[in-house]
Structure 1
Amino acid sequence: MVRWPTKDELTQKFVEYLIGPNKTIDDLQNQWVAKHLILGLREAVYMLVVVLKFVYDNITAVTATGEKLDELGEEYGVERKAASKAIYSVTIGKSSAVTSDTPVPDNFLVTTTPIGNDPPIQYRVIPRQAKVIPYGRTSVDEVLVECTEFGERGNVPEGAINLVAQAGFDFVSNAVVYRAGTNIEEDEVYRQRILDRKRNPGKGGTAHDYKTWAESVNGVVSALVIPLNRGNGTVDIVITGVNGIPDQVVIEECQSFIETKTPAGMADGGVKVLAPTPITINVTLENTIWTAGYSVETGSQFVQSALIDYIERQANKDRVVRVVDLLTTAKQAYNPQDPSKKPVLVDFSMSVPEANKFLANTEMAVVGQITIT
């Protein structure tokens, strides 16, 4: 981190340059012109230092990108979160009972079903799990497989990993998320964490410290700190993940990391990392009239996408799902491929929800059933 000189340090430097080392401004009591020249020069240079410091502190971090932003983040102890691979728990098996214990090989390949021209997403069995189909059984559960690609591309719907891609086993099923994959942290999100840290330097256990620590954990998108939620000496931290509600592995990793930062004297169990309570938001649009070229079959996907984005992002940020916002979002939904951004809906009525839904601190709006007719 850059160390900016103080007025006294500038004064001392100018004195040494003008009259030699080991001298101070007090040695110029009888040299009125030289003394005031030094003080005037000091003031002018210090104003320049103030301007440079302002530029460095308030503009550089705001405008920097890429590696430069990484360098600034490191100066404030805020590292960019790296991309990670999605991990799923699956069942792997054979069509008939095995006649001897049959181990599942490390790096065994399973995939999703290809859709159209998109290739399947590949996953490999994580090494050293020692998973075995026991004699007389047809399958083994809770085999962890890791996507071969980094990022959120590996976050597929549960059950979507359903093809065995090499010989030795006949099926893979029951795929459930163990740990969601993450993209490398985007500049704007990373920049905000850096600026937050600059505005709120670490103080060893404030609410903002807990927020900073939690949001530094890979897989944590945001954190809400609730001091005294369970009484004196307690701090609850509600986190969200890549898919909204975080998976258990991310919760545990965040809890473990926070415990390494917890100030001395905090009681065991005083700090608790929690997932938000999901609040399902259903939306029903009826009597739809569509823009020319669209119908309920071709236009619904764009309306659904806009409503999902509003519920998952804006509503949770505002802590309320507003009926008027749902109406406005649906009315303004458009096809992203249309450069004119013309709304696909002309008119409709909304029967669900009937009223605004306010969210408590520990609640999170999640998309339920979106029905468009």
Structure 2
Amino acid sequence: MSAQIPTPSALAQRFIAALSAQQFIASDGTTVTLDAMAPATFESALAILAGLTDYEIYLYLRDQLLELMVTTATVTPGTGLLPQHAKIWGVPRVGATAAVGYFLMASTATAPVTVPAGTAITVDGTVQWTTDNAVTVAAGATVSVAVTATVTDVAGNLAPNTVATLVSPVSGIGTVVSDQNGLTGGAPVEGVESWRARIIDEIRNPPGAGTVADYTKWAKDAGALVVNVVPAYTGPGTVGILFLASDYAVPSPAQVTAMQAAIDAKRPVRGNATVYAAEVVPQNPQIQLNPDTAAARTAVQDALAPYYLSVGLGGRVYVEALQAQISTAAGQKNTLVSPTQDFTLAANQQPVLGAINWGDAS
């Protein structure tokens, strides 16, 4: 609950009450009591000024106290202290990232063709990707070439199997197309609430020597949205780090490689930690609504979608929780036909709402 701040009028009345309690001895020996209630007097003007000044002080103190707490600090330029909290705790904001991935380049030449590092590729001329390294394409062969978008944010993401062209043609290179994973990983600067949550997590879970909390933090610092750290994932002494990228997207091989590099830079020397792309598993519950209306269907979908996301990687789906979400959204007369039992997903599986089957058990 926020502190109650007196109004300027109430603060002025306090000044008036304090002033009226003071008495002074005049030069002629008489006792004088100042009356700030009298209109158009110097005392009344002082009371108004004191009320306004004190009110501004209250506002300043309130705002500064809020900024001193990580839970309420802001990023307002000039006054927001969340960046300072982040600096103190060593949790920098995740900046906008560029999409990464692979293009397939096919040779039409009768001799090897070298494609230099930094060769620019585009689809429609608005966004470009450049090759990370120089590659040599054998005559008539097709080679997978690692690329990085020249811009950050989602603009550099590209669907799989999209035909592109070289900005400056290279003799002997024919078709250029994104591979089956497309170009992924382009994301905007981290949201304020996500940043705040990571700072709070750092405060609650101080760094250890490669604990589950450490690996989770390192993965999120590198841009993971959802992380599941599994000790002994492939045997004693190993650690599996399973993650999904922004918007619950399945990471591409290029993103997995980048995440592995980020983890390797921070893990303990003897930490045998391996990064894996997690899976998104659509859930298709069967629900009978009574009454079955378009509005009720929308309400149920809006309730179940966030619940499945909240389960997380390797989490457990509870039938009772599904029923509660349905009842809250559309009333008590609705039936969850399936699933009929609680179930736990694999460590690398993230449930999401798929297609709901609207009907009875028949």
TM-score, length basis structure 2:
0.59
Equivalent position of 1:357 in the other structure:
343
Indicate how the Cα distance of structure 1 residues 108 and 257 shifts in structure 2: closer, same or farther if over 3 A, else same. Answer: closer
Q: Choose which of 232, 246, 249 in structure 1 pairs with 2:251.
A: 246
SS at match of 1:196: helix
Q: How does 1:221-370 map to 2 (within 5 A)?
A: 221-227=225-231, 234-242=238-246, 243-263=248-268, 266=270, 270-275=271-276, 278=279, 280-283=281-284, 291=294, 310-311=307-308, 313-316=309-312, 319-322=315-318, 355-360=341-346, 362-367=347-352, 370=355
Match of residue 162 from structure 1: 163
**Residue pairs, 1:132-147, within 5 angstroms:** 132-135=136-139, 137=140, 140-147=142-149
Give the SS at the match of 1:142. strand
C-alpha separation in 1, matches of 2:301 and 2:83: 36
In the alignment, structure 1 residue 173 sits paired with structure 2 residue 183:
no
Alignment of 1:67-82 (within 5 A): 68-82=81-95
**1:111 correspondence with 2:126:** no
One-letter code aligned to 2:102: S
Equivalent residues of 1:241, 1:247 under 8 A apart: no
How far the C-alpha of 1:170 sits from its partner, in A, is 5.1
2:102 match: 89
- TM-score for both structures, normalised by structure 1: 0.58
Q: Alpha-carbon deviations, 1:38-68, whole Å to 9, x = none?
A: xxxxxxxxxxxxx99x958962453222663
5 Å-filtered alignment, 1:174-189, equals 174-175=178-179, 176-177=181-182, 180-189=185-194
Q: Percent identical across equivalent pairs?
A: 21
* Residue in 2 that maps onto 1:215: 220
Q: Counterpart amino acid of 1:315?
A: V
User: Does structure 1 retain, via aligned residues, the 8 Å contact 2:99–2:186?
Assistant: yes
How far has the Cα of 1:317 moved from its partner? 6.9
Q: Secondary structure at the match of 1:275?
A: strand
Tell me the secondary structure at the aligned position of residue 243 of structure 2.
strand
- Matched residue count: 284
Structure 2 residue corresponding to 1:63, chosen from 52, 73, 87: 73
Distance 1:154 1:76 in 2: 32
Q: Which amino acid aligns with 2:165?
A: V
Does 1:152 find its partner at 2:150? no
- Asked if structure 2 preserves the Cα contact closer than 8 Å seen for 1:61 and 1:72, the reply is no
Q: Aligned in 2, Cα 1:156/1:65: closer, same or farther, shift over 3 Å?
A: same
Counterparts of 1:285 and 1:167 in 2: how far apart (Å)?
54
Which residue identity is paired with 1:64? T
Relative to structure 1, is the Cα distance of residues 306 and 274 closer, same or farther in structure 2, using a 3 angstrom cutoff? farther
Q: Secondary structure at the match of 2:69?
A: helix
- Aligned partner of 2:130 in structure 1 is 125
Give yes or no for contact 2:119–2:166 (8 Å, CA) kept in 1.
Answer: no
Distance 2:213 2:192 in 1: 21
Deviations 1:179-214 (A, max 9, x none): 522221111111111111122333444443333233
**Judging changes above 3 Å, is the alpha-carbon distance between structure 1 residues 74 and 232 closer, same or farther for their aligned structure 2 residues?**
same
2: distance between equivalents of 1:156 and 1:350? Answer: 38
Whichever of the two has the greater Rg, that structure is 2
In 2, the alpha carbon distance for the partners of 1:197 and 1:170 equals: 50
Deviation at 1:91, TM superposition (A): 1.6
CA offsets, 1:197-247, max 9 Å, x none? 122333444443333233222x32243334466676554433332344433
How far apart in 2 are the matches of 1:231 and 1:164? 45
Q: Is the 8 A contact 1:121 1:147 kept in 2?
A: no
Structure 2 alignment gaps of length 5 or more: 1-60
Please give the per-residue CA displacement for 1:125-159, whole angstroms capped at 9, x wherever unaligned: 325x3234433x1x532123333431234334322
* C-alpha separation in 2, matches of 1:141 and 1:222: 32
Of 188, 192, 197, the match for 1:192: 197
